[in-house]
Structure 1
Amino acid sequence: MCGIFGYINYLVERDRGYILKTLVKGLKRLEYRGYDSSGCAVDGDEGEDFIMFKEVGNVSKLEASIKGSNVNKSTKFINHCAISHTRWATHGIPSPINCHPQRSDPHSEFIVVHNGILTNYRELRTVLESRGMVFESETDTECVAKLAKFIYDTTPGVDFTSLAKLVFRELEGAYALLIKSSHYPGEVVATRRGSPLIVGVKSEQKLKVDFVDVEFPEPAEGLPGTPKPTSLHPVFSNPATNGMLRGDKPDLLHRAQSRAFVSGEGVPGPIEYFFASDATPIIEYTKRVMFLEDDDIAHVRDGELHVHRLRREGGGSTTRTIETLEMEIASVMKGNYDHYMIKEICEQPDSLLNTMRGRVNFVNRLVTLGGLESYYDIIRKSRRLIFVACGTSYHSCVAVRPLFEELTNIPVVVELASDFVDRCPSVFRDDTFIFVSQSGETADSLLALQYTLENGALAIGVVNCVGSSISRKTHCGVHINAGPEICVASTKAYTSQYVALVLMALYLSRDSVSRLERRNEIIDGLAEIGEKVQETLHLNAAIKQTAIEQLINKDKMLIIGRGYHYATALEGALKVKEISYTHAEGVLAGELKHGVLALVDNDMPIVMLLPDDYNFPKAWNAFEQVRARGGKPIIITDKKLDNLEGFTIIKVPKTVDCLQGILNVIPFQLLSYWLAVKRGHNVDQPRNLAKSVTVE
């Protein structure tokens, strides 16, 4: 939710037009995260304030505003810092005054872009207003800009990093921030806590080392030959503030040159930096990135990137590695497709092969998950396997629950992350938790992960985004390798999660002789799954026709499944809701008599899953109950069904029972897509939804 993009050039000449185009392009790459307004800021001409553009609506409106302005776009900069933002309204309605960047004062001495929510913003605002600050927006972000100005005004000679530390210590909640100031031209400070932030590095010269040293603070009292400091801002220590705006003593930082960015002559060379909420707006320019940790403070000045710690405790490693992304720009482009969603649906044969590549030996029928190998014995001895996820990821966990129970003989629990966090249930040290998330940044899942780690349980991450918070904070994990997924509604990530979790179940049962035949059957099924997904995609035209002829004018739907296909019903209903804005309910067939049958009549649109598996007799019984009450469901099946004249049957290829859900979910993906297209909805960015839910 929301997106941050910043661009800094040093000794690389860029004109204002290029910088603005770079910002707009970056924001367009972040549109899929969800937003309702956008804004950006660049330097004005000498002696002028910052130039800011803000618009409600899509980024194209911001782009048009920039093009239509009389700003001199040919002005050249050899050192410049620009920041931009897409906003998802949390505090205050979508409006130009609430758009980011938020400013500290009418002269914009400090401007801020922010993802996340500050939980103590009301207290901060009250104190700052009591000190004479006048607020103009309803946002929590404005508190950060005004707090920065207040500290600057009351702390003569403070450098940007020290000022930033004093600001960030006062903030509570989850956030990622970029701060730019007219008092520190060409500089930017950034931090994160619970919200992702990545730094891209582009340089023609080879970096001297592939890491950045973390500069930890040292208490002033411990440094020989330094005078004992006084509080930088004694007014903050006033008991009347009830401890708010704490007057901590400043830390003295030993600032050395950043080894990575200096040339052979010991001075920084030409370089460009990109700050972003994720990698999608960066890979067009560079694949060299650094992932910030919680409470890191990144400071760019004179071409050097320094990483400071807000506190000495935590932070893990003493360096931050500059990594190379395994991602291509083509993977985040639509190509010849009309929408990202249909592109990603059609990519599933390849994405599933990528999930299995290097992990499955189909000849010897062996599954290897190197990321779990060191913890194999611990996992096998677990008291419980507890899956924690949200949305589509939750459905993938429900889909594989029966298989884990069958193959591992370990009790399995599947939890919605938000409910788990609310309940804070008992966690045992011999539990194993499996956190499943496409982005790896889902706020509720991260809170559940923190609770799990505090209670000493083993945590496994199953994510799509390398370097995400879940992948870094868990003990071990499995990347699903589905590739970038831009559409808000998840398609290929769901099926890749499904396959990755099936591989995990197979891996954990590798020593079970009694289950060898079953394991071999599943591995043989996986060998053919890509071809069968491709075959299922050939049903696109028939499914489009069904959507147009039978469902386009309907505003409700029941989707009924059983066994492995209860999860398919849930996921199908979610897709229909997300994209076509049709109220849909996924129903467990065994629960029909407990209330749902009251909704069934000849006007209720129903889709029933009738796979040819051990549950078919029970599923068929549910079908007969629906038909007896006037229902005429659309049927999705892999079985030849006779004597069903007048019923619409979508026949999918047959595979192993535990993999059938991968094929059966594709008709729902296509059905929801065509309903949305024919209704004129924004398929890739449905209203009110975000791809990465990074706030509670």
Structure 2
Amino acid sequence: MCGIIGILGTDDVADRLVDGLKRLEYRGYDSAGLCTIVDGQLERRRAQGKLVNLAERLHNEPLAGSSGIAHTRWATHGAATEDNAHPHIVGDVVIVHNGIIENFRDLREELQAEGREFTSQTDTEVVAHLIAREVENSTSPKDAVAKILPRLVGAFGLAAMFRSDPDLLIAARQGSPLAIGYGEGENYIGSDAVALAPMTQRITYLEEGDWAVIRRASVEIYDRENEPVEREIVNSGATVQSIEKGNYRHFMLKEIYEQPVVVAQTLQSYVRPLEGKVALPDIEFDLSEIRRVTIVACGTSYYAGMVAKYWFEQFARVPVDLDVASEFRYRQPVMEEGGLALFISQSGETADTLAALRYAREAGQIIGAVVNVPTSSMAREADLLLPTHAGPEIGVASTKAFTCQLAVLAALATNLARAKGELTAEEEQEIVEHLTEAPAALNAALSFDGEIEKMAPLIAPARDVLYLGRGPDFPMALEGALKLKEISYIHAEGYAAGEMKHGPIALIDDLVPVIVLAPSGPLFEKTVSNMQEVQARGGKIVLISDRKGLDAASHGVMATIEVPAVHPLIAPMVYAVPVQLLAYHVAVTKGTDVDQPRNLAKSVTVE
């Protein structure tokens, strides 16, 4: 959510700023703007809604200037209006901001008591006033920023420019990522390396509490104690090519179809078919000594962790605590020193998950991170980095990142089981065989896309939809419900199938479709029994199962979705495909914005 890009360039920068914002669109936003310095004046253009509106504004009102900052805003304080859009200008200061200033009300009241007037409802404008007040009192811009940063409580990535000094850009990071890019006679800042990829691959990632004074010819970085520090310049590896949908209607559909390839790429990093083993990167601790695993994540990543809990406990016989990241540290969990705390995040920057990671480190945990961005904050702070190889995921609703997370977690569960002596060589060989079958099974599941598309009009009119599953298919029911509500805006809930009779069955009538995930296997008959309880009360069933399951239990259902018969280990990966496709086609039928659904952001960098 929210995106920042800044350029101290050698020629006009407006077009490059907009291009950088386009590369950050995946993060989610509801307004956008930019500001440059032109002939000693701050010139700004802002627009509500999509970037096309800002581009049209710039077409009608072109903007010169070789120094500029730009921003996409996801509304937190104040509605998504042009007045609330960034950048904000106060006096000689212009500022953009990702995150939330938690004490902004007290600061705003202090500033208003001095007679200072506000033109927006945002917390960001408070920061601009604080800096401007110091500058108006003859404090240098650098000293002004150093003075006000300790007063800010919350999470922020900040960038400020100053009318009087077009060769100066000041950036600060606390809880929200920022990167500095190094060019030839130019320097840059961005929310991530992707925004800067067309201009440079030479990147420095600011660490927690860092702030930087950036000029065209120099970069000075300071820590939270205002002491000068050196931070490594790395090659970002971010792709320069624009990310395109190709022949697909939406990024989400493209990313669903990429799953066989990216899951195969991910498994190649962990699975050794010729040896019959599953390997991890080199680790500096003994897995056999791990007595408890704590898994922490948000949203779709949480459901991946929920599947992994089944695997860790069933295969490795290691107890697992599973927590929603936003709740984790506030319940002040008691953690046994030396436990493995595992954090799952597509971006590696999810604010709640990152804060939980730091809590766990203070509690003496070994930190593991399953992330899709190997240069992210979580990746850099982990003792054990377990990267997925999903590639850039643009659609806000996660698809390919989720199945790659499952692949990595299966590899970790296998290694933990071996280390604990719970897995024979023959059993590990069997797991390897099943994991190597996953890409082909995902591809086979995609072959039923046309049938799912035809089914979508049956679901689209519903106001409420229920999903049911047992065992590892329970988290898949939760994930299916999340996908549907995210992009179609239909209220959906997932339940453990056996819990239906403990309350949710009261919701059943002929207007509530019920999606049942029931692969043939040891839990099939019990799931079908719960399904029949729904049918007896007029519920309209969509049964997702393999051919054996459909032959046994499809009588009287509204519709069926066939999935290839697979081993239970890889079933969650494979069953992800039909629930993703069903949500996608229902959303398309309803005409919603599939890739950028309302109110949602791809990278959630605030609590």
Indicate whether the TM-score tops 0.5. Answer: yes
Residue 565 of structure 1 corresponds to which residue in structure 2? 473
Q: Deviations over 1:146-168 (max 9, x none)?
A: 11121122245x3x333321121
Q: CA deviation at 1:652?
A: 0.9
2:104 matched to 1:121? yes
Q: Deviations over 1:302-336 (max 9, x none)?
A: 421221223168x9xx5322222334344732222
Q: CA deviation at 1:645?
A: 4.5
**Larger CA Rg, structure 1 vs 2:** 1
Q: CA deviation at 1:87?
A: 1.0
Q: How far apart are the structure 2 equivalents of 1:645 and 1:616?
A: 15
2:449 matched to 1:449? no
2:273 matched to 1:362? yes
Corresponding residue to 2:88 among 84, 102, 117:
102
| 3-state DSSP of counterpart to 1:97 | coil
Q: Deviations over 1:125-145 (max 9, x none)?
A: 222233342222221111211
Q: How far apart are the structure 2 equivalents of 1:163 and 1:565?
A: 55
Residue 169 of structure 1 corresponds to which residue in structure 2? 150
2:580 matched to 1:642? no
Corresponding residue to 2:34 among 31, 37, 40:
40
Change (3 A) 1:692 1:384: same
Map residues 76-95 of structure 1 onto 2, 5 A cutoff.
80-95=66-81
Corresponding residue to 1:690 among 597, 601, 606:
601
2:59 matched to 1:67? yes
Residue 350 of structure 1 corresponds to which residue in structure 2? 261
- For structure 1, the residue ranges without an aligned partner over 5 or more in a row are 204-269
Q: Deviations over 1:457-493 (max 9, x none)?
A: 2221111112212112232221112111111100001
Q: How far apart are the structure 1 equivalents of 2:340 and 2:479?
A: 25
Corresponding residue to 2:337 among 429, 434, 437:
429
Corresponding residue to 2:302 among 394, 397, 401:
394
Q: How far apart are the structure 2 equivalents of 1:681 and 1:595?
A: 31
Corresponding residue to 1:666 among 557, 574, 577:
577
2:12 matched to 1:6? no
Residue 163 of structure 2 corresponds to which residue in structure 1? 182
Q: CA deviation at 1:28?
A: 1.7
Map residues 526-675 of structure 1 onto 2, 5 A cutoff.
526-548=435-457, 550-640=458-548, 641-642=550-551, 644-645=554-555, 647=557, 648-675=559-586
Q: Deviations over 1:525-574 (max 9, x none)?
A: 111111111111111111100112x1121221111100110011000000
| 3-state DSSP of counterpart to 1:86 | strand
Change (3 A) 1:323 1:628: same
Q: Deviations over 1:337-363 (max 9, x none)?
A: 221101111111111112122321111
Corresponding residue to 1:339 among 250, 253, 259:
250
Q: Which moved more, 1:495-504 or 1:332-341?
A: 332-341
Q: CA deviation at 1:607?
A: 1.0
Q: How far apart are the structure 2 equivalents of 1:363 and 1:571?
A: 34
The one-letter code of the counterpart of 1:322 is I
Change (3 A) 1:590 1:514: same
Change (3 A) 1:513 1:309: closer
The one-letter code of the counterpart of 1:38 is A
Residue 198 of structure 2 corresponds to which residue in structure 1? 284
Q: CA deviation at 1:621?
A: 1.4
TM-score, length of structure 2 as denominator length? 0.95
Query: 8 Å contact 1:522–1:656 — kept in the other structure?
Result: no
| 3-state DSSP of counterpart to 1:21 | helix
Q: Deviations over 1:422-477 (max 9, x none)?
A: 31121221322101111111111122122212222222111111221211223222
Q: How far apart are the structure 2 equivalents of 1:415 and 1:514?
A: 25
Q: Deviations over 1:209-250 (max 9, x none)?
A: xxxxxxxxxxxxxxxxxxxxxxxxxxxxxxxxxxxxxxxxxx
| 3-state DSSP of counterpart to 1:488 | coil
User: How much is the aligned-residue C-alpha RMSD, in angstroms?
Assistant: 1.9
Q: CA deviation at 1:36?
A: 1.4
Q: CA deviation at 1:584?
A: 0.9
Q: How far apart are the structure 2 equivalents of 1:137 and 1:329?
A: 36
| 3-state DSSP of counterpart to 1:343 | helix
| 3-state DSSP of counterpart to 2:247 | coil
Q: Deviations over 1:400-423 (max 9, x none)?
A: 211101222211111111121331
2:377 matched to 1:469? yes
The one-letter code of the counterpart of 2:354 is L
- For structure 2, the residue ranges without an aligned partner over 5 or more in a row are none
Map residues 111-260 of structure 1 onto 2, 5 A cutoff.
111-155=94-138, 158=140, 160-203=141-184
Q: Deviations over 1:580-636 (max 9, x none)?
A: 111111110111110122222333211111111211121121122222222231111
Task: Report how many residues are paired.
Answer: 603
